[in-house]
């Protein structure tokens, strides 16, 4: 028995971690992806394809800067189009990461452990891409910094009543805190990578870089104590941000007077939608990740099923948002709101509205079935549907509200142009490209936390 206590623990199957893993094997398994595993043809192909997409993204952006936002389909009255829809969609996707890391940490949910790292990376990339779109969307993007309150000789400040200024702060704060949270969480793992990298010239380079990034982590008890405190504090800081960011993003619309924008349900509705799309994206990423890197024991069916349960819950919240919009329109008796609501069902964008309802409300109901929750491929398909549905929701909010507002004489229709699609699709390529880099160069699952989970599972089992 005493020997058992001295022997490193071996995990038991606790659902979110399969049996038979020890400290060393966990570390090997995860760090090998980064340090020793050769880049397979699959990764290289995906990398090259998405890199081409990244080049397209930057090329299209250069063209956008040369010609102006007129290359997109935006017009008067629909002055906001794909760019703002994409922005809201990406920022929504960027929600799940922080939610999983911070909120679930505070709620002591063990199943967050193996998915928080890549979910946070997803958050960073998505929020970063989201942050690009409002700048691209500007008529004169080179002056985007005028939204920042910086001291200048003209003494001109931003106009504080504008939600776009709040938005600027909300997003930059969120990005900053998410980055800190992610990085602090990475430090023990970076140290592990530093220590495990060999002395072979290539490995030596990795050792130096990981070593620099690890900020001198030695795994001392003092380090751990401070680390734990800092991590918890950051989690506490990040938690309100999860709610605030999308609340403020929703203000971009709710503060406006346009029918379809001007609604008090928007903040909770946007936050719910963000979690919904974020968890869908977590599934979209987790399923190939565990498949291609053989992480089935760490990212188990339990994880996927739990995420699916969150999807059901948030799907209903989103559905409540849809219902509340309709109810408010009729309850207010406002003819403009009522017209806009009916127009969503019957107007030119009705097919989009119908598809959105199918993707966001009907399809997720399949997840009530345990069989489907545990069917990897169906889950993957459903997650893609939800991503699509949420994009359509953003499109509808932005575009369909604007295209039928107060004066019928000014009504118009938005049609996307070639460049609208280029920017949307290539931004997805950029996201995947960043994620591919991430899984190759940083541990996609937290090694330190997995080791803690091994110990916990061993204790729990005994």
Partner 1 sequence: MKKQTVIPIADARDDTAEDGIDRRSFLKLMAASAALASAGCKGPPQEQIVPYVRMPEMMVPGKPVYYASAFVHRGFAQGVLIESNTGRPTKIEGNPLHPASLGATDVFAQASILQLWDPDRSQAVYRGQALSTWETFETALQAQRETWSKDGGAGLRILTGTITSPTLADQLAALLQRYPNARWHCHDPLHDDAAIAAAHLAFGKPAETVLHLDKAAVVIAIDADLFGALPGSVRYAHDFAQRRRSGGDGVAGNRLYAVEIRPTLCGARADSRLALPPAEIERLIWRVAARIGTPGVPASLTGAAHADSSRWEAALARALIAHRGESLIVAGGSMSPATRALVHAMNATLGNVGKTITIIAPVEATPIDHVESITNLAAEMAAGKVKSLVMLDVNPVYDAPADLGFAKALGGVPFSVHLGLYRDETGRHAAWHLPLSHAYEHWSDARAYDGTASIVQPAIAPLYGGRSAHELVALLVNDDTRGGHALVRRTWARHAAGPDFETFWTDALRQGVIADSVSAALAIGSMHTPSPPSPTHVAAAPLAAVFVPDPATGAGEFANNAWLQELPRPFTKLTWDNVALIGAATARSRGLATGDLVRLNLDAMSDHALDIPVWVLPQHAEGVISLPLGYGRTAAGRVGNGVGADTYALRTVAAARGRAALQLHKTGKQHVLATTQQHTTMEGRDIVRLATLAQYRENPHFATDAPKKRVPKDSLYPEWEYKDYKWGMAIDLNACIGCNACTIACQAENNIPTVGKEEVLRGREMHWIRVDRYEVQHRGAGRAARSVFQPVPCMHCETAPCEEVCPVGATVHDSEGLNVQVYNRCVGTRFCSNNCPYKVRRFNFLQYSNNEVESFKAVQNPEVTVRRRGVMEKCTYCLQRITRARIEAEKLGRTLQDGEVVTACQAVCSTEAIVFGDLNNPNSKVNRAKASPLDYALLAELNTRPRTTYAAMVTNPDPALE
Interaction site with partner 1 (CB under 8 A) = 67-71, 73-80, 134, 137-141, 143-144, 146-147, 156-159, 161-165, 168, 252, 255-258, 261, 335-336, 339, 402, 405-413, 415
Give the distance, in angstroms, between the CA of residue 44 and the centroid of all CA atoms in the same chain. 24
Distance separating alpha carbons of residues 270 and 249, to the nearest angstrom: 8
Closest distance between partner 1 and the C-beta of residue 394, in Å? 15
The set of residues, in sequence order, having a beta carbon less than 8 Å from that of 386 and lying 6+ positions away, is: 276, 277, 280, 311, 315, 359, 360, 363, 364
Closest distance between partner 1 and the C-beta of residue 73, in Å? 7
Q: Can you tell me whether residue 26 is helix, strand or coil?
A: helix
Distance separating alpha carbons of residues 295 and 422, to the nearest angstrom: 34
Nearer to partner 1 among residue 7 and residue 140 (C-beta): 140
DSSP assignment of 265-290: THHHHHHHHHHHHHHHHHHHHHHHHH
Nearer to partner 1 among residue 73 and residue 94 (C-beta): 73
What is the phi-psi region of residue 200: left when phi exceeds 0, alpha when psi lies from -120 to 50, beta otherwise? Answer: beta
Distance separating alpha carbons of residues 176 and 241, to the nearest angstrom: 11
Contact status, residue 85 vs residue 399, Cβ threshold 8 Å: yes
Closest distance between partner 1 and the C-beta of residue 344, in Å? 15
Closest distance between partner 1 and the C-beta of residue 69, in Å? 6
Closest distance between partner 1 and the C-beta of residue 153, in Å? 14
Closest distance between partner 1 and the C-beta of residue 88, in Å? 14
Distance separating alpha carbons of residues 63 and 59, to the nearest angstrom: 6
Contact status, residue 85 vs residue 134, Cβ threshold 8 Å: no
Contact status, residue 183 vs residue 443, Cβ threshold 8 Å: no
Nearer to partner 1 among residue 10 and residue 413 (C-beta): 413
Closest distance between partner 1 and the C-beta of residue 60, in Å? 16
Nearer to partner 1 among residue 161 and residue 371 (C-beta): 161
Nearer to partner 1 among residue 6 and residue 76 (C-beta): 76
How many beta carbons lie within 10 A of that of residue 140, not counting itself? 10
* Residue tagged 């050769």 (tokens): 38
Nearer to partner 1 among residue 51 and residue 411 (C-beta): 411
Element holding 183 (H helix, E strand): helix 163-196
Closest distance between partner 1 and the C-beta of residue 354, in Å? 23
**Quick one: CA dihedral 142, 146, 149, 151, positive or negative?**
positive
How many beta carbons lie within 10 A of that of residue 243, not counting itself? 17
Closest distance between partner 1 and the C-beta of residue 52, in Å? 28
Closest distance between partner 1 and the C-beta of residue 347, in Å? 11
Contact status, residue 243 vs residue 271, Cβ threshold 8 Å: yes
Closest distance between partner 1 and the C-beta of residue 261, in Å? 8
Nearer to partner 1 among residue 209 and residue 348 (C-beta): 348
Give the distance, in angstroms, between the CA of residue 376 and the centroid of all CA atoms in the same chain. 21
Nearer to partner 1 among residue 135 and residue 452 (C-beta): 135
Nearer to partner 1 among residue 167 and residue 449 (C-beta): 167
Distance separating alpha carbons of residues 188 and 186, to the nearest angstrom: 6
Nearer to partner 1 among residue 1 and residue 76 (C-beta): 76
C-alpha atoms less than 13 angstroms from C-alpha of 451 in its C-beta half-sphere:
14
Nearer to partner 1 among residue 120 and residue 252 (C-beta): 252
Distance separating alpha carbons of residues 117 and 101, to the nearest angstrom: 8
User: Which tokens sit at 377?
Assistant: 């491929």
């Amino acid at each position: 028995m005493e020997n058992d206590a001295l022997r490193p623990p071996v995990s038991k199957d606790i659902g979110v971690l399969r049996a038979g893993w020890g400290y060393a094997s966990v570390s090997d398994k995860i760090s090998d992806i980064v340090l020793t595993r050769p880049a397979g043809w699959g990764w290289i192909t995906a990398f090259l394809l998405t890199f081409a997409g990244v080049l397209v993204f930057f090329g299209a952006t250069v063209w956008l800067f040369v010609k102006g936002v007129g290359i997109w389909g935006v017009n008067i009255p629909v002055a906001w189009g794909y760019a703002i829809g994409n922005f809201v969609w990406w920022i929504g996707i960027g929600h799940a990461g922080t939610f999983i890391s911070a909120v679930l940490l505070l709620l002591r949910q063990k199943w967050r452990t193996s998915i928080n790292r890549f979910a946070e990376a997803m958050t960073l990339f998505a929020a970063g891409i989201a942050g690009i779109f409002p700048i691209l969307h500007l008529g004169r993007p080179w002056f985007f910094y005028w939204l920042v309150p910086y001291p200048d000789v003209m003494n001109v400040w931003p106009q504080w009543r504008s939600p776009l200024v709040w938005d600027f702060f909300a997003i930059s704060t969120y990005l900053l805190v998410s980055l800190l949270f992610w990085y602090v969480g990475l430090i023990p793992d970076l140290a592990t990578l530093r220590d495990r990298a060999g002395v072979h010239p290539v490995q030596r380079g990795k050792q130096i870089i990981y070593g620099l990034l690890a900020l001198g982590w030695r795994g001392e008890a003092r380090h751990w104590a401070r680390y734990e405190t800092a991590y918890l504090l950051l989690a506490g800081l990040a938690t309100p941000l999860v709610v605030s960011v999308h609340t403020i993003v929703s203000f971009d619309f709710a503060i406006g007077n346009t029918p379809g924008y001007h609604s008090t349900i928007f903040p909770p509705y946007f936050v719910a939608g963000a979690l919904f799309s974020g968890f869908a994206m977590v599934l979209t990423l987790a399923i190939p990740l565990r498949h291609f890197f053989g992480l089935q024991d760490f990212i188990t069916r339990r994880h996927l099923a739990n995420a699916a349960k969150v999807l059901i819950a948030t799907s209903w919240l989103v559905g409540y948002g849809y219902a509340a919009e309709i109810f408010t329109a009729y309850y207010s008796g406002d003819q403009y709101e009522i017209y806009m609501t009916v127009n969503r069902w019957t107007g030119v964008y009705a097919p989009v509205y119908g598809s959105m309802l199918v993707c966001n409300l009907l399809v997720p109901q399949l997840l009530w079935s345990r069989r489907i929750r545990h069917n990897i491929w169906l889950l993957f398909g459903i997650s893609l549907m939800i991503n699509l549905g949420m994009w359509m929701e953003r499109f509808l909010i932005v575009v369909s509200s604007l295209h039928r507002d107060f004066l019928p004489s000014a009504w118009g229709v938005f049609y996307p142009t070639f460049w609208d699609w280029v920017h949307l699709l290539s931004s997805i390529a950029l996201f995947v490209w960043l994620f591919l880099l991430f899984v190759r160069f940083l541990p996609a699952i937290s090694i330190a936390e997995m080791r803690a989970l091994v110990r916990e599972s061993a204790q729990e089992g005994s």
